């Protein structure tokens, strides 16, 4: 299992294969895929903007607020998070073109007040290779961040104060020797811009990007008032990893049911500032990335330096990072852009020079699985395969069926454990992450929610299984030490021959009691994965597993030939009753799947 797969984050692979000679935007097919992914990602609403050459189209699915039924609009405004960094990188390169700074200038030349970091260069700040310490989400700042959530009013921070608490700290590593993604880099670039332009960053952004591209709704949010056009942003307990009862501590007007809160201003845009404080619409985000990549904002020489990527990392996950821009390698060519992971919002904004194709996916919830939706929609644009509608039988599979594991998932089966598979879909299945969520009903336990999936085809005891693995990559994901990571995990093993026997429409929903695991199509457990970064070893244990003495319900289908082999798209809903693992009679069952029993303590 690769480290990237272990973390459950977005993995994109460059594989061979013919590119489509002529692309067309299949509106019906893309709309169907978007609606399905909005359902499986549990987002309130999703908006998509696609620009193919000079033709732009927008799509939407879901609602603007889970408290009502008003559809989310295609011209909605969103907080764009870290896509702001790409804009600030452009403004910095414009300053360079004016002869004011150079990429290899030391920080001490421009911001002497940060003398302890003086050897850091402008280039290293832009590449996330500076070693400057992070100012956000430090333990000592946590209460301040949580305080913003509970204030229930918009707070505006002075950018000069953001770094006060860390300016005396040493660098985390020697500049240029490693990569670490953090917002401090771009706050420093914002301070340099304001110093030499003699203007506020919001004015610099307007004059350097919005006005040249004709953007009417793109701006840095430093106002004390809410923009009435801004879509409300939401946070879900099952993504945060926090127990849902914490929602009860918030004002009633912010709560949306038991799991969701309105967090539009819970993390103020000004706290991210030059690293993530911009508001825009999906169409204007698309106009920005296309304008940048087509030379409308900076010179060809500057653009070439900007997209000259190096290996970097985000949360230990390898990425190709340039000067405020990332390159994603896909079966359909290289895409350049940036994602924006925000509290209450998330987006993916990318452009393919080869196909003159810009794609923007935005959601009014975050953190969320927007990256997986982006990958699926890219595949839909190039492959054009029809989506078989999935009839979610909510009445037969209610969310509160049992106090156990509730699951909703969609994705492609990857060939990680079947290298001898010569299916024509094998390579393309690598470009198909899984989206969805699962949560354990023991909601008083932090971290008992799972939001990053992989789908794999494996063998156990000479039986063919589809293995769904979900990690809890959340705010309480659990760092044991710098050398070791610990994450809650859930695994579902689906017996392939039994799934095929359930192809009859009347048997797609299965409700059974007194289950026999030798014939039941599913085995479920919840536990923990520990990953030792120094040795690469992985330890997996189970604390709870499927209770065969109680009823379960699940619905499963495939999207292509329903052979449930490598490369096929699968969709699943389920409610699984769980019980604690017994050290007396579960040993044989655990050993069948290579598991240990989690220790009760420690």
CA-to-CA distance for 566 and 559, rounded, in angstroms? 12
Q: What is the mean pLDDT of residues 119-132?
A: 97
Q: What is the mean pLDDT of residues 272-297?
A: 97
Q: Which of 182-191, 377-386, 532-541 has the lowest mean pLDDT?
A: 532-541
Crossing angle for the helix pair 282-293 and 83-97, nearest 10 degrees?
40
Output the pLDDT for position 81.
94
Q: Residue 548 in contact with residue 521, Cβ under 8 Å?
A: no
Confidence label for 85 from pLDDT (cuts 50, 70 and 90): very high
Range picked from 101-105, 468-472, 556-560 for highest mean pLDDT: 101-105
Q: Residue 285 in contact with residue 360, Cβ under 8 Å?
A: yes
Domain boundaries, the chain: 42-368, 404-597
Q: Residue 437 in contact with residue 42, Cβ under 8 Å?
A: yes
Query: Quick one: what percent of the chain has pLDDT higher than 90?
Result: 40
Q: What is the mean pLDDT of residues 158-186?
A: 92
Query: CA neighbours within 13 Å on the CB side: how many for 224?
Result: 1
Other Cβ atoms within 10 Å of 244 Cβ, number: 19
CA-to-CA distance for 517 and 520, rounded, in angstroms? 5
Q: Residue 571 in contact with residue 557, Cβ under 8 Å?
A: yes
Q: Which CATH class is domain 42-368?
A: alpha beta
18: DSSP letter: P
Q: What is the mean pLDDT of residues 306-323?
A: 87
Output the pLDDT for position 413.
83
Q: pLDDT at residue 437 above 90?
A: no
Reading the block at residue 335, the tokens are: 């895409």
Question: What is the reported pTM?
Answer: 0.87
**Residue written as tokens 């811009």?**
193
DSSP 77-95: BEE-TTHHHHHHHHHHHHH
Output the pLDDT for position 399.
72
Q: What is the mean pLDDT of residues 273-295?
A: 97
Dihedral sign from CA coordinates of 245, 251, 257, 261: negative
Output the pLDDT for position 377.
86
Q: pLDDT at residue 41 above 70?
A: yes
pLDDT tens per residue, range 326-355 = 999 888 899 999 999 878 999 999 999 999
* SS3 (DSSP) at 286: helix
Confidence label for 533 from pLDDT (cuts 50, 70 and 90): low
Of 27, 24, 76, 69, which is closest to residue 47 (Cα–Cα)?
76
């Amino acid at each position: 299992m690769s480290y990237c797969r272990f973390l459950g984050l977005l993995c994109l692979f460059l594989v061979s294969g013919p590119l489509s000679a002529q692309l067309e935007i299949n509106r019906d097919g893309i709309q169907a895929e978007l609606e399905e992914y909005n359902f499986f990602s549990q987002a309130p609403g999703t908006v998509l903007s696609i620009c193919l050459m000079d033709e732009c189209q927008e799509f939407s699915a879901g609602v603007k607020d889970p408290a009502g039924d008003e559809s989310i609009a295609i011209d909605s405004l969103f907080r764009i998070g870290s896509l702001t960094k790409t804009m600030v990188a452009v403004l910095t390169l414009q300053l360079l073109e004016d002869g004011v700074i150079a990429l290899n200038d030391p920080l001490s030349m421009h911001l002497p007040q940060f003398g302890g970091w003086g050897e850091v260069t402008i280039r290293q700040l832009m590449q996330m290779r500076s070693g400057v310490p992070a100012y956000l989400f430090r333990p000592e700042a946590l209460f301040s961040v949580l305080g913003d959530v509970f204030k229930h009013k918009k707070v505006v921070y002075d950018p000069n104060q953001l770094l006060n608490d860390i300016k005396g700290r040493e660098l985390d590593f020697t500049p240029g020797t490693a990569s670490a993604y953090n917002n401090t880099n771009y706050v420093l670039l914002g301070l340099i811009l304001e110093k030499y332009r003699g203007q506020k960053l919001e004015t610099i952004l307007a004059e350097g990007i919005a006005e040249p591209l004709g953007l009417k709704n793109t701006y840095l949010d430093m106002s004390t008032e809410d923009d009435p056009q801004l879509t409300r942003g939401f946070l879900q307990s099952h993504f945060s990893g926090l127990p849902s009862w914490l929602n009860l501590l918030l004002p009633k007007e912010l709560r949306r049911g038991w799991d969701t809160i309105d967090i539009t201003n819970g993390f103020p845009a000004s706290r991210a500032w030059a690293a993530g404080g911009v508001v825009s619409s999906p169409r204007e985000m698309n106009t920005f990335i296309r304008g940048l990549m087509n030379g409308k904002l900076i010179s060809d020489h500057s653009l070439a330096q900007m997209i000259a990527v190096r290996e970097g990392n985000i949360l230990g996950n390898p990425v190709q990072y340039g000067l405020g821009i990332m390159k994603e390698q896909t079966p359909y060519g290289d895409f350049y852009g940036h994602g924006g992971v925000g509290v209450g919002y998330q987006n993916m904004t990318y452009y393919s020079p080869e196909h003159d194709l810009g794609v923007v996916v935005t959601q009014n919830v975050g953190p969320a699985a927007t990256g997986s939706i982006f990958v699926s929609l890219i595949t839909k644009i190039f492959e054009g395969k029809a989506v078989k509608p999935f009839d979610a039988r909510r009445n037969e599979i209610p969310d509160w069926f049992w106090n156990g594991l509730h699951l909703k998932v969609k994705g492609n089966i990857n060939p990680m454990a079947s290298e001898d598979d010569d299916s024509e879909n094998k390579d393309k299945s690598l470009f198909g992450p899984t989206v969805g969520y699962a949560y354990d009903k023991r909601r008083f336990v932090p971290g008992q929610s799972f939001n990053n999936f992989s789908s794999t085809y494996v063998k156990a005891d000479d039986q063919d299984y589809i293995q769904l693995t979900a990690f809890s990559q959340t705010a309480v994901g659990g760092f044991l030490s710098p050398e070791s990571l610990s994450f809650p995990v859930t695994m579902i093993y689906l017996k392939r021959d039994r799934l095929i026997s359930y192809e009859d429409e009347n048997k797609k929903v299965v409700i059974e009691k007194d289950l026999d695991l030798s014939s039941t199509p599913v085995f479920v457990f919840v536990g923990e994965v520990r990953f030792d970064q120094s040795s690469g070893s992985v330890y997996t244990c189970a604390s709870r597993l499927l209770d065969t003495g109680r009823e379960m319900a699940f619905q499963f289908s495939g999207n292509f030939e329903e052979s449930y082999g490598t490369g096929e798209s699968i969709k699943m809903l389920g409610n699984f009753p769980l019980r604690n693992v017994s050290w007396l009679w579960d040993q044989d069952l655990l050993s069948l799947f290579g598991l240990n029993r989690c220790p009760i303590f420690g």
